[in-house]
Amino acid sequence: MKKTILNFLIIIAVSVATIALSGCGTKNTTTAEGNIISFYEVPLVCGAAPEIGCGSRIKPLFMETEKEKQIKESWSNRPGTIIAIVWDASATDGSVRENLIQPLFKKNAIDAKLISDEKHIAEYMTSMKQDKWYKGMDVDNLSLEEAGVIAEDLTKFAQDKGLINQTEKDAIKSDLEAYFKKELVIVRTCDELKSEETNEKWRKDGYQIYVNHIGKERADSVAGFFAEYQTLKKEKCEKEGKKSCCDKDKKDCSEKK
């Protein structure tokens, strides 16, 4: 039983630690105000919620850019695949810009490639005007959204099996979502996000939320089912060819999706 409980607790790490898996000659364009914008391709898709970017991975980088006088603004597109750096008007030397930003990417374990294709640059300029992009600390909104996805993932399987009812699911999900909304906006490095210490904290706290609502005996029953659930889930996504959802246990902080 202890082993099944441990397996169940791993759901917290597997579902959430994936946030650490998203990505641990220059061409630019200018804004109407005359500021230069550089676009970078990055692997910062959220493993737990693959339709959005990983706020927990983007935030430390953006905090670093805010300290640089030559960087006016930092933006991420919603999917977490493009970072836009808006440079101060004084940052006219392309090599100086790259020598400034690339060490910041490297420090935050982000594999970033400068986009030089003029067609793609034009597309991203249009996207910034029409689509949802996140500026600076607004990337916390991605983490808050991710918390809801994680909470749903950590409760739906138990309800589907009949181990908890709708009322219990709603209560557990609410507490898990509130918990991860606090945890995911904490500034952590990529190594800290994937560390055993962080994941052990999430495992214990997530399991305790279950115990608080349905008691230890029933929480252990949920734990006993989890190993089977994980196997079925992996088989299903492999059958459907969804490689990304089958490889969430990888530990490379700058892994490309």
pLDDT in tens, 218-255: 999 988 887 777 777 777 767 766 544 334 444 455 44
Tell me: do 119 and 177 sit in the same domain: no
Tell me: do 152 and 169 sit in the same domain: yes
Tell me: do 125 and 38 sit in the same domain: yes
Tell me: do 38 and 92 sit in the same domain: yes
Tell me: do 47 and 102 sit in the same domain: yes
Domain boundary among 139, 168, 193: 139
Domain count, the chain: 2
Q: Within 13 A of 128's CA, how many CA atoms are on the CB side?
A: 21
The candidate with the shortest Cα–Cα distance to 104, out of 74, 80, 139, 140, is 74
Buried/exposed 159-189: b ≥16 CB within 10 Å, e otherwise: beeebbeeebbebbbebbbebbbebbbeebb
Tell me: do 197 and 238 sit in the same domain: yes
Cα–Cα distance for residue pair 192/185, rounded to 1 Å: 13
For residue 177, what pLDDT is reported?
98
Tell me: do 130 and 145 sit in the same domain: no
Domain boundary among 139, 168, 199: 139
Question: Is the Cβ–Cβ distance between 235 and 246 less than 8 Å?
Answer: no
Tell me: do 239 and 157 sit in the same domain: yes
User: What would the two tokens of residue 45 be?
Assistant: 């898709």
Q: Within 13 A of 81's CA, how many CA atoms are on the CB side?
A: 9
**254 assigned to some structural domain:** no
Domain boundary among 88, 105, 139: 139
Tell me: do 118 and 35 sit in the same domain: yes
Would you mind telling me the total number of residues written for the chain in this entry? 257
Tell me: do 13 and 28 sit in the same domain: no
Give the model's confidence band at 2: pLDDT under 50 very low, under 70 low, under 90 confident, else very high: low
**249 assigned to some structural domain:** no
φ, ψ for residue 77 (rounded to 5)? Answer: -75, 165
Buried/exposed 201-233: b ≥16 CB within 10 Å, e otherwise: ebbebbbebbeebbeeebbbbbbbbbeebbeee
Note down the domain range covering 57.
24-139
Across the chain, mean pLDDT equals 85
Tell me: do 116 and 191 sit in the same domain: no
**256 assigned to some structural domain:** no
Question: Is the Cβ–Cβ distance between 20 and 193 less than 8 Å?
Answer: yes
pLDDT digits (tens, 9 = 90+) for 40-97: 999 999 988 999 999 999 999 999 999 999 999 999 999 999 999 999 988 989 999 9
**248 assigned to some structural domain:** no
pLDDT digits (tens, 9 = 90+) for 117-127: 999 999 999 99
